[in-house]
Amino acid sequence: MLDQTIPAPSVAPGQADHPLEFIFHPRAIAIVGASSNPDGQGNGFVMGPKEHGFAGPIYPINPKAKEIAGLSAYPSVLAVPGPLDYVISSIPAAGVPELLRQCGKKGVRFVHLFTAGFRETGDRTRTALEQHILHVARQEGIRLLGPNCMGVYYPEGHLTFQPDFPREPGNIGMISQSGTNASETVSFGGARGLRFSKVFSYGNALDLNESDLVEYLATDPNTHYIGAYIEGLSEGRRFFQVLREAARRKPVVILKGGRTQAGTRAISSHTGSLAGADVVWDTACRQAGAIRVFGVEELVDILMTLASGVRPTGRRVAILGGGGGASVLAADDCNALGLEVPAFSAAVQEQLRPLVHEAGTSVRNPVDAGTLLRNEDIQKAVQIIGGSGEVDAFFVHVSSAFTVHGVGRGKTAEDAARPLKAAARLGGKPFFVVLRNEGRLQGNPENLQKLVQGCVQAGLPVFPSMSRAGNALAKVLQHATRDWEPE
């Protein structure tokens, strides 16, 4: 929470206009409490920027070590030879005020407090310590992220709190009051092709809070879509204004923790936030034009759908794939979500019939022809249906049984997905791929995995179930009347 009576640090010369932009251009970074134990985050904070190729010096700070991860260690931030802008604190809570004093002396302007054990404990002394830390930071002109958080993932600048995050930058911005949820969004989304501009795990939001961060992402030209995991608000009224303004500029997807009593109690032990009434969030999201989701997987589903360029214009869907029973359940899933699965006209069915070679298959919609996927007939089918104007979107689902029987066999990922990629282009409508993968200990998991990777590389939105794909279309459609393009 920023107290406006204390001036925020000025922007570094030559950097962009936003007052928080300086955070992303440190000349050097230091990890205080760095360690050699590969299981500890005190090591991960060193390995992350090192492995991602951070351009400036990385200083592990640990009075007991000479070297950590092949880098010279220093006893304190004051002992660091050159300039220092960015510090990560991985030391116990009691040491943080003194650390901030030293940071102030050193000219450090941004500190990320991984350090936990403050107001989230419910302990009065620790809550008071947290407030004291805010006081010291303001005296020293330092902006804080956290405490009790994983910090910043900014792939373009080679900053990351997990070495295994993707190195390529993208256009998804994310704020998360939970480190795990941030990590899982990047990891789950990364596997499905999502790439990120900036991700903030911001924990207790002592200084920089959800409003500051969403406001920043709303103006960041590299961020086209915003995701947020929020437990409670530091400045309720301001946030809903910020949200409305952000959602006017670009799509915002909100995952609110604490929608139930049990979740609300869990929040008080996690970040010490007040969850707020759930109905307020429903209303606020709807009024702002933000999309509300209820889990990390759904957050990824929606961000991926948006980022893949899907802009649905209606709820009539074509379902193609196999086999018959999977098609029945796919139609049920779509219809139950409020999507329509219209029977194709006689003219369309007549054109499709020659493409379906097996007896016992239907061309009415769903087209229950797994064999279509073994060759390029899927392109012809999609072109016929797309040209008819009878549907607004395509769902192609591949059953795991068909990947056993030849789909994608003996090909590269790119080859395996080529017919689907070409079909998506020919269809001229939102195109969703459903590749169910629960059977990967049986069957032919390599073929399926190859298809998933090929589709991801081709920029197609890929889902593990029809109900999740249908839900993504339905939710994005609800909001499609707005102008989603960033300014």
Sites for its own copies among residues 348-367 (CB under 8 A)? 358-360, 362, 364, 366
Q: Which is nearer to its own copies, 250 or 270 (CB)?
A: 270
If we measure between CA atoms, which residue out of 115, 120, 265 comes closest to residue 204?
A: 120
Binding residue (CB under 8 A) for its own copies from 406, 422, 474, 484: 406
Question: Residue 233 CB, nearest distance to its own copies (Å)?
Answer: 15
Binding residue (CB under 8 A) for its own copies from 57, 141, 263, 486: 263
Q: Which is nearer to its own copies, 135 or 195 (CB)?
A: 195
374 binds its own copies (CB under 8 A): yes
336 binds its own copies (CB under 8 A): yes
Q: Would you state the structure tokens that stand for residue 68, as one six-digit string?
A: 């950590």
399 binds its own copies (CB under 8 A): yes
Distance of CA 367 to the CA centre of its chain: 33
The separation between the first and the last C-alpha atoms of the chain, rounded to the nearest angstrom, is 27
Q: How far, in Å, CA of 70 to CA of 263, rounded?
A: 42
Q: How far, in Å, CA of 272 to CA of 116, rounded?
A: 11
Q: Binding-site residue total for its own copies (CB under 8 A)?
A: 97
Task: Name residues contacting its own copies, limited to 48-87 (CB under 8 A).
Answer: none
For residue 348, report the phi and psi dihedrals to the nearest 5 degrees: -65, -45
For residues 247 and 286, is the Cβ–Cβ distance under 8 A? no
Which string of x and - marks every residue 435-474 that binds its own copies (by CB under 8 A)?
-x-xxxxxxx--------x----------xx-x-------
Q: Which is nearer to its own copies, 78 or 343 (CB)?
A: 343
329 binds its own copies (CB under 8 A): yes
Which string of x and - marks every residue 202-221 that binds its own copies (by CB under 8 A)?
--------------------
Task: Name residues contacting its own copies, limited to 133-162 (CB under 8 A).
Answer: 148, 162
Question: Residue 186 CB, nearest distance to its own copies (Å)?
Answer: 8
Binding residue (CB under 8 A) for its own copies from 81, 95, 221, 325: 325
Task: Name residues contacting its own copies, limited to 229-248 (CB under 8 A).
Answer: 229, 231
User: What are the start-end ranges of the H helices in 141-207?
Assistant: 179-191
Beta bridge partners of 199: 153, 174
SS3 139: helix
346 binds its own copies (CB under 8 A): no
Q: How far, in Å, CA of 239 to CA of 242, rounded?
A: 5
Please list, in sequence order, all residues whose beta carbon lies within 8 angstroms of the beta carbon of residue 49, skipping any fewer than 6 positions away.
29, 58, 158, 159, 160
Q: How far, in Å, CA of 306 to CA of 394, rounded?
A: 15
